[in-house]
Structure 1
């Protein structure tokens, strides 16, 4: 089994590096792309709640302080996949797109007493779109048409190692140290039906290789014999990614069969925002767990590389494209008893809802707001060899909408496998 776990980690890392984009959204052309779900299987059933959760049998990398609660006897491996159907609606025109993606591969174990450790690979952003628009160059003279084609792919991934330590009863602190890498490539092509007009082909590209740090604290206060409340706080400092924004413009003249190329580059164009998070979790008798999270990402103070053809500096960092992003999550989990002999009483039932504002503007207008609802189960895997592993299944509906922009309805199925192995248990022979 240990060989299987190590092989799964290596396979997951390889698949993540070479994975296709998990989105078809035209909104992924803005900023660094669509922000990925930074959650594991059990969080997703509660729609992303987790800043105050500290589970002994699950890895909660939303707050690294939670690693201190990992069971001292086991090694945990968690891997997740997802499949989704997206419906796009613009002015009554509807289209569907399908995607599937390997979401994450993470592991965790108790390193020393009161000290837990986790490591793994998770997505950070996704870019994937391909669409075109067309029309008449002059509405009064319908002899010449234009076609604008937009295409993009890529995204950023994160590999991390973290630790959580409990120096005092009820208090734990933790940190994740991560490495972010990836590439984002976008193209815009303008073609005309009349060779009199020049065709334009613009390419945008960036390569990212940098670090990311996440800090977390959790404090649990007993309210009664069966009730306790945990406060979780996280902080991620913003910093420059030292990634250049490259752009080139190729203009082609069909009449003369000539082309001209202009190349631009902005040094250190991309940054990570400072991120804050706070959450509360109420635990009643280890059966009911209800949580609420709030997170804030300070994108609004950052500049974004923007092309303006008639400007004295056409390719430059400009303000007013990014905006601060807020998100609120509410979710719960109910499990009658994780060690109960009855199968159905060992199942964890989960549900949640969230609302988020966008972190970018589209042509000066706020991007789509996000409303999401999810429900799922944590199904125990029971056999003669292992009765601690779990299959996490959840369904999720996400609606992205803004006045005058494309509306997206996403229906997503998340499946996570949590393998819980007795690596550190000492057997006693009689």
Structure 2
């Protein structure tokens, strides 16, 4: 009965996640292919997404598939997460707040064969969501022109991954993912003067393609109670076989006549080559400290843009740039074997810095600074002592001197169910 309940919960969450898209209200999500998700799970969100050198047997670490080989042979792990956030947007003397609450991810992992772990999951890849308007007067007249921007959508990622402990401390792994999703971005220009034509331009695309990521971990004992783990990842960049298009509609309110024109760019979206390296030090299974560096080569990816002179929709280079991200984090648990509850709580902290991957009117987009702290709270009752409730708070600041500054506070909640599904009982 216990397994049936857990499976039902899992299937329910996966069904919800398949239909949900993590939300954002950021105007920066209109550029590139949207706001990039950090794709971390509940346990490492408290460490601000630290992942590449982490190797746990009781958590799912989808950011380095080599870690799946560490999954305990008796465990079936299922992890689900959600978040709630409030964001302040500030430009000059204007300030606005927005709220979001979203289902974030659903992942699972288990040991399939000796030294081989398997993971499956559903996580966001990009998010798009914004709605704002600007109004201005035309010269010295009373006529005002309003330009409205809105957009929604994003790309989802479903994966199946495998991790293999080749020998000793060396493990390798791979995630085979399916990317799908769509977006619609609209720019409309209207006027208070009924004699002036209105114009609406809608950008849209639908994605359905694959993604490949590979990982490696090398773990070495350096002292009686100390371990070092080196992690590395590579994500393969390629075209997404998507055909983004733009439709421009011009309407005359006096005559009621409108005209449409549509331009399509064949195979106009892509994901970049991505490289990551991380190092983690663990002492006595109580203290873990690590650092990650990730490079996404967006600078070599072309993206469609409307030509201001001709109105054509064409691929352009130089609209994106390479993204560098640095993360430092750690976890401390007083005593993993203690009978005292608070001795088994896991305390986490982390910080990150990321450069922008978008350019706006030839200028760099916002840099991102973030810090987080959280807890891994053991779930203990008469039948369960291996699962965790992961709670963390995260502050993210995205700023650019020429554009909007965003300050976001997010609460992340994740539940890791860890079941003993593969134990064989022996009666003597």
Q: In the alignment, is residue 387 of structure 1 matched against residue 389 of structure 2? A: no
Distance 1:113 1:145 in 2: 70
| CA deviation map 1:347-396 (0-9, x unaligned) | 10000000001111011110000000000000000111010000000000
Q: 2:263, 2:312 within 8 Å by CA — same for their partners in 1?
A: no
Partner of 1:365: 363
Distance 2:376 2:334 in 1: 12
TM-score, length-normalised on structure 1? 0.98
Q: 1:21, 1:154 within 8 Å by CA — same for their partners in 2?
A: no
**Correspondence list, 1:14-29, <5 A:** 14-29=15-30
Partner of 1:32: 33
Classify the secondary structure of the residue corresponding to 1:143.
coil
For the aligned residues, what is the CA RMSD?
1.0
Distance 2:297 2:181 in 1: 22
Stretches of structure 2 lacking an aligned partner (at least 5 in a row): none
Classify the secondary structure of the residue corresponding to 1:300.
helix
Shift of 1:256: 1.7
Q: 1:236, 1:275 within 8 Å by CA — same for their partners in 2?
A: yes
Partner of 2:47: 46
Q: 2:248, 2:260 within 8 Å by CA — same for their partners in 1?
A: yes
Partner of 1:59: 60
Distance 2:9 2:141 in 1: 59
| CA deviation map 1:136-180 (0-9, x unaligned) | 122xx2221100111100011011001100011111000010100
Q: In the alignment, is residue 350 of structure 1 matched against residue 348 of structure 2? A: yes
Partner of 1:418: 416
Partner of 1:145: 144
Classify the secondary structure of the residue corresponding to 2:280.
strand
Distance 2:3 2:124 in 1: 25
Distance 1:9 1:214 in 2: 25
Distance 1:315 1:235 in 2: 32
Shift of 1:18: 2.2
**How has the CA–CA distance of structure 1 residues 108 and 398 changed in structure 2, closer, same or farther, with 3 Å as cutoff?**
same
Distance 2:396 2:333 in 1: 26
Q: 1:250, 1:262 within 8 Å by CA — same for their partners in 2?
A: yes
**Correspondence list, 1:214-225, <5 A:** 214-225=213-224
| CA deviation map 1:236-276 (0-9, x unaligned) | 11000000011100000112211111111000000000000
Distance 1:282 1:214 in 2: 24
Partner of 2:137: 136
Shift of 1:21: 4.4
The runs of at least 4 consecutive aligned structure 1 residues that moved more than 4 Å come to none
Partner of 1:396: 394
Shift of 1:286: 0.9
Distance 1:143 1:207 in 2: 41
Q: In the alignment, is residue 125 of structure 1 matched against residue 126 of structure 2? A: yes
Q: 2:21, 2:103 within 8 Å by CA — same for their partners in 1?
A: no
Partner of 2:263: 264
Classify the secondary structure of the residue corresponding to 1:419.
strand
Distance 2:22 2:161 in 1: 26
Partner of 2:306: 307
| CA deviation map 1:3-49 (0-9, x unaligned) | 23322332223222322541111111011110112100011000010
Q: 1:21, 1:128 within 8 Å by CA — same for their partners in 2?
A: no
Distance 2:246 2:420 in 1: 53
Classify the secondary structure of the residue corresponding to 1:43.
helix
User: How many residues matched?
Assistant: 427
Classify the secondary structure of the residue corresponding to 2:339.
coil
Classify the secondary structure of the residue corresponding to 2:402.
coil
**Correspondence list, 1:207-286, <5 A:** 207-286=206-285
Partner of 2:178: 179
**How has the CA–CA distance of structure 1 residues 80 and 21 changed in structure 2, closer, same or farther, with 3 Å as cutoff?**
closer
Partner of 1:317: 315
Distance 1:136 1:245 in 2: 33
Distance 1:60 1:338 in 2: 20
Distance 1:41 1:165 in 2: 23
Partner of 1:288: 287
Q: 1:28, 1:127 within 8 Å by CA — same for their partners in 2?
A: yes
| CA deviation map 1:184-216 (0-9, x unaligned) | 111111001112221001111000000011100
TM-score, length-normalised on structure 2? 0.98
Partner of 1:89: 90
**How has the CA–CA distance of structure 1 residues 325 and 295 changed in structure 2, closer, same or farther, with 3 Å as cutoff?**
same
Shift of 1:88: 0.5
Q: 2:21, 2:127 within 8 Å by CA — same for their partners in 1?
A: no
Distance 2:335 2:417 in 1: 19
Q: 2:21, 2:124 within 8 Å by CA — same for their partners in 1?
A: no
Distance 2:369 2:141 in 1: 42
Classify the secondary structure of the residue corresponding to 2:189.
strand
Distance 2:414 2:191 in 1: 48
Residue among 406, 409, 425 paired with 1:408: 406
**How has the CA–CA distance of structure 1 residues 329 and 374 changed in structure 2, closer, same or farther, with 3 Å as cutoff?**
same
